[in-house]
Amino acid sequence: MRVVSLVREGSYRFNGITAATMNHDEAWHFIQLGKYIERACNICVMLDAYFDIGKHPDDLDWVGLLSSCAAFEPIARPAPPNSGRNESRIFCF
């Protein structure tokens, strides 16, 4: 678990340093593009590994998947009265 924490902290530092010190030109946009492509690729790999083709996911499967990518709390949190539940789920993804 210590290695994961070190990698996560290093990633946060790199993101903070690049956002605060770099000009928001082509190089910064290239870093952002790489971050979002990697995120999309990791989500696809996680979904592919987590769900079998013939199996329909139940609530426990979704709880496990969302917890593994730190997205369960925003989904489980009650939605504000003026927004639909669907809007909050779309926002999380």
pLDDT of the residue at 90: 55
Whether the predicted pLDDT of 89 surpasses 60: no
Task: Record the pTM.
Answer: 0.57
Residue 26's pLDDT band, with cuts at 50, 70 and 90, is: very high
Which of the two residues, 83 and 68, has the higher pLDDT score? 68
Which of the two residues, 63 and 74, has the higher pLDDT score? 63
| 3-class secondary-structure state, position 27 | helix
Residue 29's pLDDT band, with cuts at 50, 70 and 90, is: very high
Q: Do 75 and 66 contact (CB within 8 A), yes or no?
A: yes
Q: What is the 3-state secondary structure (H, E, C) of 35-84?
A: HHHHHHHHHHHHHHHHCCCCCCCCHHHHHHHHHHCCCHHHHHCCCCCCCC
pLDDT of the residue at 33: 94
Q: Do 64 and 58 contact (CB within 8 A), yes or no?
A: no
What integer is the mean pLDDT of 34-46? 87
What integer is the mean pLDDT of 64-73? 76
